Amino acid sequence: MDAFGSVGTSTSLVVQSFHLFRHISSARRFADNAGNLSGLIAIEYFRFETWLQQSGLLVVEPGSGTLVVTESSLRRAILLAADAQFMEYHRVENHVLTTLNQVYQCLLAIKKLRDKYSLKQADSGDNIRTSDLTDSTNLGLEVTTEIPGSVPLFHNTRVATAIVTDTNLRERRAKTMSFFRKVSFSWSLKDDSSDHNKITVHIQTLNSCNNTLRECLPPQQQHAADRLINVKALSLSDSPPELQGIGTAASTVHNNPLHDQIYQAMTVKAKRVGESSLGISPQDLQQGMLDSTTLTFNRDDTVVTTGISDRIMAQHKQSESQPPKTVILEWVIFHPSLPESDLDLLHERIALLCALLRSAGHPYFPALPLCSGFFRQGRTSFALVYQLPPFAAPSQPPRSLYSLLPRNKYSVVTEKRSTVILPSLEQRYELAAALADAVLSLLSVDWMHKTITSRNVVLYHQSSAAGGSQFQNRIGFSHPQLLGFGLARRERPAERTIDLRDGGLSPWRFWQHPELVGFPLSNAPPLEHLNNTNTH
């Protein structure tokens, strides 16, 4: 281990790199002059930390609660990487340790540059000592073995143990995130372009090293690692300027799918939590409104009563020079007794929803439809226009998951075919994993879809079947999309609920408060807003 210099063993190299990385990346102001650099360093730290977690290297010592790296866990991670890459163990070991050493040396160089600027703790105001960074024994994260006042909710010991473990993980994660929020850096790098350029070069080196370490993970863990990195980055702040700063920093890294995901997620979350979400700007309203004459569809497919029709296909011609594109129309028909003030408010909320969905789609929101806009037809009819996914066959309309499920005595017969389609176990697993990933992506940006039913989960026919002639083999079960977003009320102060009950069996079956079932159409009391309506 002579190549490691003063670090010593390979395990101490990993531990000291982790703590040094954690220290350097702990800036929380991402909207100042050096916001781009702070955001990029934080992203690279989360990539390094997630690699350690996914590789099983970081272990919490039960007695002291210290994070340790054992020699056996490091060897196991290298062995798995060698097996995944079909390479010799010693070659992969040398490659991984060389990369870790490069990370450590790069972090030391960044630390020397950062020490030139003020580093203050919000709590005590004392500077962090350099000796604390190199002493790995003083940097352990404490974990509690008991939860004060916690009583198991179930008699099942396995469930109770899982609850305790989950709570411990949440406490440890909260402790880690609080560390990021109590340390504040002031860089003032605008007067020293040389230091700025040096740090930029070091960040590029860290990005390259993290790309190398990511390739050491098994393929099935790489996607999970990317999701964890996104969630960690999104949890850094709830301030729209800081979220936009992190997103801007991520957008400066080109040809990297992970940074593209972070940019998209930060942009959507900034819109969700920003004050601008309380109202629609004239520019967004103009961009969202479409001319219905540019769309060709069967007018008989629309419904004339409250509810929503089956999603229908249409042809959208944006200009004379471009050929028409196949799109999906989702009709939203409100109760005719609603006053104009309520309809105007719903019109604004649909425009806000379209503005959010215009930023959706790949790469971070593959389960959300990419919205082209909406148009209004008549007094109470609106149509959302969704782009067809690139893998979908333009000649086949989407199928709801409800229509694919077997019939029973409670089924709406008109929405189910007589042919029973039973997906394989692998297809059902892919569908469940994709839906879980979709819900996680929404919740990570403070977006709740409260009408996820089998009717609002749609599947598409693939444009080219991989093989087989059976019907289910031509449906992309691994690429579902969530439609049917509720438009009744947003979870914000001073918001007003608009009652969408039609008195009959609506395809939008949202839960109603028991005391409101059977009552005539009226605005619900404020205390029951969240019970009888949904939110987008």
Q: Is the pLDDT of residue 429 over 90?
A: yes
- Most trustworthy range by pLDDT among 68-82, 175-189, 261-275, 297-311: 261-275
Report the C-alpha dihedral over residues 248, 249, 252, 257, rounded to 10 degrees: -90
Q: Is the pLDDT of residue 480 over 90?
A: yes
Task: Evaluate whether the domain defined by 285-437+454-483 bears CATH number 3.30.200.20.
Answer: yes
pLDDT confidence band for 29 (50 / 70 / 90): low
Q: Which residues contact 47 (CB under 8 A, 6 or more apart)?
A: 210, 213, 214, 225, 229, 258
More confident residue, 333 or 2: 333
> Mapped to the 3 state alphabet, what secondary structure does 47-66 carry?
HHHHHHHHCCCCEECCCCCC
- Most trustworthy range by pLDDT among 43-47, 344-348, 488-492: 43-47
Q: Is the pLDDT of residue 169 over 80?
A: no
pLDDT confidence band for 448 (50 / 70 / 90): confident
pLDDT confidence band for 4 (50 / 70 / 90): very low
* Average pLDDT, integer, range 480-496: 68
Q: Rounded to whole angstroms, how far apart are CA atoms 99 and 7?
A: 14
- The pLDDT assigned to 470 comes to 45
Render pLDDT for 259-278 as a digit per residue (tens, 0 to 9).
999 999 999 998 888 755 55
Q: Rounded to whole angstroms, how far apart are CA atoms 137 and 67?
A: 9
Q: Rounded to whole angstroms, how far apart are CA atoms 250 and 260?
A: 7
Q: Is the pLDDT of residue 437 over 80?
A: yes
Angstrom CA distances, 243 to 133, 215, 275, 320, 375, stand at 29, 28, 13, 39, 31
Which backbone phi and psi does 420 adopt, to 5 degrees?
-85, 125
Asked if 38 and 200 touch (Cβ cutoff 8 Å), the reply is: no
Angstrom CA distances, 107 to 20, 32, 49, 205, stand at 7, 22, 14, 10
Q: Which residue from 364, 362, 382 is spatially nearest to 487, judged by alpha carbons?
A: 382
Q: Is the pLDDT of residue 287 over 90?
A: no
Whole-number average pLDDT of the chain: 72
Q: Is the pLDDT of residue 435 over 90?
A: yes
Render pLDDT for 189-237 as a digit per residue (tens, 0 to 9).
444 557 777 888 888 999 999 998 898 888 878 888 999 999 989 988 8
- Quick count: other Cβ atoms within 10 Å of Cβ 109? 15
* Residue boundaries of the structural domains of the chain: 2-220, 285-437+454-483
| CA-based max dimension of the chain | 81
Asked if 33 and 189 touch (Cβ cutoff 8 Å), the reply is: yes
Instruction: Tell me what percent of the residues of the chain surpass a pLDDT of 90.
Output: 9
Q: Is residue 15 packed enough to be buried (19+ CB in 10 Å), middle (13-18) or exposed (0-12)?
A: buried
- The pLDDT assigned to 259 comes to 92
Lowest-confidence range among 332-336, 514-518, 524-528? 524-528
* Average pLDDT, integer, range 149-167: 52
* Average pLDDT, integer, range 306-331: 77
Q: Is the pLDDT of residue 135 over 60?
A: no
Q: Whole-prediction pTM value?
A: 0.73
More confident residue, 137 or 22: 22
Lowest-confidence range among 137-151, 250-264, 357-371? 137-151
Render pLDDT for 395-419 as a digit per residue (tens, 0 to 9).
888 888 888 887 777 677 677 766 6
Does residue 122 sit in helix, strand or coil? coil
- The pLDDT assigned to 79 comes to 85
Torsion sign, CA atoms 443, 389, 391, 450: positive
- The pLDDT assigned to 223 comes to 87
More confident residue, 350 or 161: 350
> Mapped to the 3 state alphabet, what secondary structure does 284-308 carry?
HHHHHECCHHHEECCHHHCCCCCEC
More confident residue, 8 or 35: 35
Q: Which residue from 404, 412, 450, 448 is spatially nearest to 428, judged by alpha carbons?
A: 404
* Average pLDDT, integer, range 146-174: 54
Q: Which amino acid is at 21?
A: F
- Most trustworthy range by pLDDT among 21-25, 127-131, 367-371: 367-371
Instruction: Tell me what percent of the residues of the chain surpass a pLDDT of 70.
Output: 65
